[in-house]
Amino acid sequence: MDERLREAPCGFLSIDRNGYMIEVNKTFLEWMGCKQENLVGKHFESLLTTGNKLVFHSYFYPNINLHGYVEELFINLRNQNGESVPYLMNARRIEQGSIEIIDCVLVQMKKRIDYELELRTTKKQLEEAYIKKDLAFAKLEQIYLEIEKKQIELMEINSGLVKISNTDKLTGIPNRRFFQEKLEEQIEWYRKEQKTFSLLMIDIDHFKKVNDTYGHQIGDIVLAKLANILKNQARPKDIPARFGGEEFTIILPNTDVEEAIAIAQNMNHQVEIAEWKETGSLTISIGAATFTKNDTEESIMKNADQALYASKEMGRNRATHFRELS
């Protein structure tokens, strides 16, 4: 590593294809409060918080393997003191001879936190000014304008980060992180109001053959087009998302077994009759499950996945509800 990269005003590290750190620059070491020997040779996931390991597996690895790069991944890393530090990561896979290396650049997101702290301080100043009534109107107006400015700046920062962290970059629909948040919300809503909801798990039939025959670029086009069909066919209240690879999910609020089956079968039909210039034709298999009082987040996903497997076993291009398996 040359001197400029070692001293660069951003974190830089290289990992091998298995995730073990090979090189780390001085800046990242200082930010993390570590020495070279604390990180080199260790697995990158040893720095991740528990929640971020799921994000890493569902977003980082699929994208780095499929596209060779990852852009603007929002993650939290544990420093030497065990504190969670927010970062924005870009990564790119390169080949050096016969060896694959992944170079990663990380930027601290501490500025966003500083904005929040500064905003709270300014608001407190405004409250004190109203209580004491000893500040001139001009001072109050100045503070108020500062609050408005900082609120706008914070909203812009938060909006950008939320969109980055919740959107699948290839397809433009919500990603797995967003899906899991919404699934938890639906379950909580069910516990409070007994509002029935259903879940669809969708898999492209013979997608590996698409990639092998037409290449990954066409595969990406197919994924994006399918996502668009699912989004357009979904009702306004439905929540479609890319689960990972060629798998998609749709949360169906206020939807019972019969409605879920009808919606899934319509999805099958709309995908089958769509124009697929790139591959000639395309079909999907769907597994459906409806949440009950005995279900958990894990069980409804397992049930939908079993139903999806049954659709594959029964010839593909069909929808199966978990109820049909019992």
Positions marked catalytic? 246
Tell me, letter by letter, the H, E, C secondary structure of the chain. Answer: CCHHHHCCCCEEEEEECCCEEEEECHHHHHHHCCCHHHHCCCEHHHHECHHHHHHHHHHHHHHHHHCCEEEEEEEEEECCCCCEEEEEEEEEEEEECCEEEEEEEEEECHHHHHHHHHHHHHHHHHHHHHHHCCCCHHHHHHHHHHHHHHHHHHHHHHHHHHHHHHECCCCCCECHHHHHHHHHHHHHHHHHHCCCEEEEEEEECCHHHHHHHHCHHHHHHHHHHHHHHHHHHCCCCCEEEEEECCEEEEEEECCCHHHHHHHHHHHHHHHHHCCCCCCCCCCEEEEEEECCCCCCHHHHHHHHHHHHHHHHHCCCCCEEEHHHHC
